[in-house]
A and B are shown apart, each in its own frame.
Chain A
């Protein structure tokens, strides 16, 4: 029985079988004998989630556009199918050729969130690939690589990967595969390949770096071997308007989380919110021209048949030609009966004209990320939004027929006091009062203010990378305080599980000593940690205990400015001096203007060799 027959034998026993058999429109199937290098692109979560990821769509098409490369997709099977796979010796396989992942030259994972780490181990295990890099063959095959935002501090995964790819992947992935092709032909070994790969900009080979620790647990020193660089600098695309973008997406049969065309309109962010990792690691700010955005939208809609488009960016309204872009897009989408959705719109530059245009295309809820309950706290985190701006935007929205508003906040931010927590409830109440004060408010509908409260997670490469996270007890006390401060039934409060955020903090700021914890937790049954029904925090705590690692050391300790941080050898083009400066400014509750107003000297322009805005 071949693998396809074996899979099909059990497919009718699992939920949503079309996730496991491929054959979707837009998938690219190549003859394995006609290519030189194969890459299994793995997403460490289920199909429904992984298929929504835009970065995977870009790199999948990019690699397959090269005639001699083959890239196939692979996702984590859901628990029902995993059980069947394990019972019947079905190895993890790719969806295009239904070929075992272990037979690929590269096995690449995209690391989008910390709580997917155990899924990587589980997938390697299902694939029959040794989990630890040191246990893999000396031959040049099965190179396990990772990219994505989490690899800006990949240390908790360092023992499992051969290579981390830092920064944007469009060029470096091809360079890496070309090098592989060349060295494979020469009969090189795995080690010889890794040595050479480490010389490519943006390539980090963790086994060439060794760490010694002080008695207090902090890093004493890092030693580099095999001539690898002391600092590894992330890759960026200089000419963003002309960067490769797919002409087609794989169109799934089953519904996925983001089941639509997404077009990337800009990369990076000018804002510099001090808690936001994405705002720093994707710098410098670059945009696509309205013309490029329009062309890519049209091409993708025609090829996929989707009737919905979403614009992807960290802050779409910061596009310098937002009006021209939206006018062009709305003209096209309205004519073709396509829905255009615009996530990531900021409060402060939300003009009446823009709202008018948006109203034409959607009538769903309005979402504002206020993040802090008081102006003082918003200044601390550099969320340059004032209450007047929030109020004036809500006023426009209410007068325009909106009756529900969703507000995002964070809890446990540096310098936060009870006043800031109560401030969240008060701000929501003032928005509700504003609604009732408007004469031409929507009639016959009850207003709803949804307050969604996340727990602050300190992240590497942010000014808050030095900050401790609130303890669980403190977070729970604040959550209760917030609930008690809300006086209206029209204000609905929801918040995140404090344990989840705690594990995120540990893994985000962790060092190599956590590899063993991740491994132990997985061995003890942890996987799909980002799914509340699968998250087992007690098992994680047991794993920490077994490994003799204290999670509080990583989550709740303030790091010194002169301490060697686990990610200090990785260069994301924003300097540590800048983060220290910003951290001090934060503690003085002083804001920093955004990049268009004034350059605050983060260092990215020096690294790139040009001004960000001329």
Chain B
């Protein structure tokens, strides 16, 4: 049996597919592909596949990760990739397929990029700098135990911050995986509290699922 890890993209209109719907969508993709995908052996057998990290509704990505198994050991990975790509919805596609290397628990962070669109780009840029320079970035996060106040500051890594035409463009890394998960919208909410200038968060994209040492998870 081939234990495989696919990197796939979810872009354009496909970004409106919720995580729950993505599950159903992938089931139908596998069925349409007619690949010898491994089925679970329980009371209700279904094709086995598992997503490494849920992607928020409305986010684009070309680095999503899904594990699944193929029962035919001799099937070339390129064939599997092509057959899946033939039956994917618009905006989705397999970027790469490789054998599973690391355990899912190795995932430590994710990288996101987004725009903060505003008329007053400089104003928003200054507000971001000011927020990043603060001692702490407190936000309220919903957890299973209720609302909790957390400090984003120690876990936020800014990769880049720049002014573009009509927007502030940011790339940041946040904790992700089985332990802590921070969504970039949390940072933007904190910004909204400290910034009086109106802006709009747009073009959100996950650009990487990473290990602790910033290497791409594979």
What is the CA–CA distance of A251 and B87 in the complex, to the nearest angstrom?
Answer: 12
Give the chain A neighbours of B18 by CB distance below 8 A. Answer: 16, 18, 253-254
Q: Are A25 and B39 in contact (CB under 8 A)?
A: no
What is the CA–CA distance of A253 and B29 in the complex, to the nearest angstrom?
Answer: 12
> Interface segment, B19-27, B100-108, B134-142, B166-174?
B19-27
Interface size on A, residues (CB 8 A): 22
A253-B25, A254-B21, A304-B28 given; A25·B87 CB < 8 A: yes
Contact of A18 among B21, B27, B87 (CB under 8 A): B21
Q: Are A251 and B90 in contact (CB under 8 A)?
A: no
Answer whether residue B32 sits at the interface, using C-beta atoms and an 8 A cutoff. Answer: yes
Answer whether residue A12 sits at the interface, using C-beta atoms and an 8 A cutoff. Answer: yes
Q: Are B91 and A23 in contact (CB under 8 A)?
A: yes
Answer whether residue B75 sits at the interface, using C-beta atoms and an 8 A cutoff. Answer: no
What is the CA–CA distance of A302 and B16 in the complex, to the nearest angstrom?
Answer: 25
A11-B16, A22-B13, A337-B39 given; A251·B21 CB < 8 A: no
Answer whether residue B123 sits at the interface, using C-beta atoms and an 8 A cutoff. Answer: no
Q: Are B13 and A337 in contact (CB under 8 A)?
A: no
Give the chain A neighbours of B90 by CB distance below 8 A. Answer: 23
Answer whether residue A578 sits at the interface, using C-beta atoms and an 8 A cutoff. Answer: no
Give the chain B neighbours of A251 by CB distance below 8 A. Answer: 28
Interface members, chain A 218-268 (any B CB < 8 Å): 251, 253-255
What is the CA–CA distance of A304 and B34 in the complex, to the nearest angstrom?
Answer: 12
Q: Are B31 and A24 in contact (CB under 8 A)?
A: no
Mark contacts of B1-20 with chain A using CB atoms, 8 A cut-off: 1 yes-contact digit, 0 otherwise. 00000000000111011100
Give the chain B neighbours of A302 by CB distance below 8 A. Answer: 32, 34
Give the chain A neighbours of B146 by CB distance below 8 A. Answer: none
Closest A residue to B28 by beta carbon equals A305
Contact of B17 among A18, A304, A305, A306 (CB under 8 A): A18
Q: Are B39 and A306 in contact (CB under 8 A)?
A: no
Interface members, chain A 286-326 (any B CB < 8 Å): 301-307
Give the chain B neighbours of A305 by CB distance below 8 A. Answer: 27-32, 87
Answer whether residue A17 sits at the interface, using C-beta atoms and an 8 A cutoff. Answer: yes
A24-B89, A337-B45 given; A255·B24 CB < 8 A: yes
What is the CA–CA distance of A251 and B39 in the complex, to the nearest angstrom?
Answer: 22
Give the chain A neighbours of B54 by CB distance below 8 A. Answer: none
What is the CA–CA distance of A134 and B87 in the complex, to the nearest angstrom?
Answer: 47
Q: Are A253 and B16 in contact (CB under 8 A)?
A: yes
Give the chain A neighbours of B16 by CB distance below 8 A. Answer: 11, 17-18, 21, 253
Q: Are B21 and A23 in contact (CB under 8 A)?
A: no
Chain B: interface residue count, which band? 20 to 34
Mark contacts of A4-29 with chain B using CB atoms, 8 A cut-off: 1 yes-contact digit, 0 otherwise. 00000001100011100111110000
Closest B residue to A301 by beta carbon equals B31
Give the chain B neighbours of A16 by CB distance below 8 A. Answer: 18
Q: Are B58 and A12 in contact (CB under 8 A)?
A: yes
Closest A residue to B45 by beta carbon equals A337
A18-B18, A25-B87 given; A303·B13 CB < 8 A: no
Give the chain B neighbours of A11 by CB distance below 8 A. Answer: 16, 58
Mark contacts of B80-93 with chain A using CB atoms, 8 A cut-off: 1 yes-contact digit, 0 otherwise. 00000001011100
Closest A residue to B90 by beta carbon equals A23
Give the chain B neighbours of A304 by CB distance below 8 A. Answer: 28, 32
What is the CA–CA distance of A304 and B18 in the complex, to the nearest angstrom?
Answer: 19
Closest B residue to A337 by beta carbon equals B45
Closest B residue to A304 by beta carbon equals B28
Min C-beta distance of B164 to chain A, whole Å: 18
Give the chain B neighbours of A21 by CB distance below 8 A. Answer: 13, 16
Q: Are B28 and A17 in contact (CB under 8 A)?
A: no
Q: Are B57 and A17 in contact (CB under 8 A)?
A: yes
Closest B residue to A20 by beta carbon equals B16
What is the CA–CA distance of A137 and B4 in the complex, to the nearest angstrom?
Answer: 60
Q: Are B89 and A306 in contact (CB under 8 A)?
A: no
What is the CA–CA distance of A253 and B18 in the complex, to the nearest angstrom?
Answer: 8
Q: Are B31 and A23 in contact (CB under 8 A)?
A: no
What is the CA–CA distance of A16 and B21 in the complex, to the nearest angstrom?
Answer: 10
A303-B32, A307-B27 given; A12·B89 CB < 8 A: no
Min C-beta distance of A302 to chain B, whole Å: 7
Q: Are A253 and B87 in contact (CB under 8 A)?
A: no
Min C-beta distance of A308 to chain B, whole Å: 11
Closest B residue to A259 by beta carbon equals B24
Give the chain A neighbours of B32 by CB distance below 8 A. Answer: 25, 302-305
Closest A residue to B200 by beta carbon equals A9
Give the chain A neighbours of B58 by CB distance below 8 A. Answer: 11-12, 17
Give the chain A neighbours of B39 by CB distance below 8 A. Answer: 337
Q: Are A25 and B28 in contact (CB under 8 A)?
A: yes
What is the CA–CA distance of A307 and B89 in the complex, to the nearest angstrom?
Answer: 17
Min C-beta distance of A152 to chain B, whole Å: 37
Closest B residue to A254 by beta carbon equals B21
Mark contacts of B101-142 with chain A using CB atoms, 8 A cut-off: 1 yes-contact digit, 0 otherwise. 000000000000000000000000000000000000000000
Q: Are A25 and B89 in contact (CB under 8 A)?
A: yes
What is the CA–CA distance of A87 and B23 in the complex, to the nearest angstrom?
Answer: 34
What is the CA–CA distance of A253 and B27 in the complex, to the nearest angstrom?
Answer: 11
What is the CA–CA distance of A22 and B57 in the complex, to the nearest angstrom?
Answer: 16
Q: Are A23 and B45 in contact (CB under 8 A)?
A: no
Closest B residue to A24 by beta carbon equals B89
Give the chain A neighbours of B24 by CB distance below 8 A. Answer: 253, 255
Give the chain A neighbours of B14 by CB distance below 8 A. Answer: 23
A305-B28, A305-B31 given; A253·B91 CB < 8 A: no
Min C-beta distance of B205 to chain A, whole Å: 14
Min C-beta distance of B26 to chain A, whole Å: 10
Min C-beta distance of A335 to chain B, whole Å: 13
Closest B residue to A26 by beta carbon equals B89
What is the CA–CA distance of A12 and B59 in the complex, to the nearest angstrom?
Answer: 10
Give the chain A neighbours of B28 by CB distance below 8 A. Answer: 25, 251, 304-307
Min C-beta distance of A340 to chain B, whole Å: 15
Interface members, chain A 18-55 (any B CB < 8 Å): 18, 21-25
Write 20 A-B pairs (CB below 8 A) sorted by A numbering.
A12-B57, A18-B16, A18-B18, A18-B21, A22-B13, A23-B14, A25-B28, A251-B28, A253-B16, A253-B17, A253-B25, A253-B89, A255-B21, A301-B31, A305-B28, A305-B29, A305-B30, A305-B32, A305-B87, A307-B28
7 further A-B pairs in the complex, CB-CB below 8 A; given A21-B16, A23-B12: A17-B57, A18-B17, A18-B21, A23-B13, A25-B87, A253-B18, A303-B32
Complex A-B, nearest 5 residue pairs according to Cβ-Cβ distance, in ascending order: A305-B28, A23-B13, A305-B31, A305-B32, A18-B16
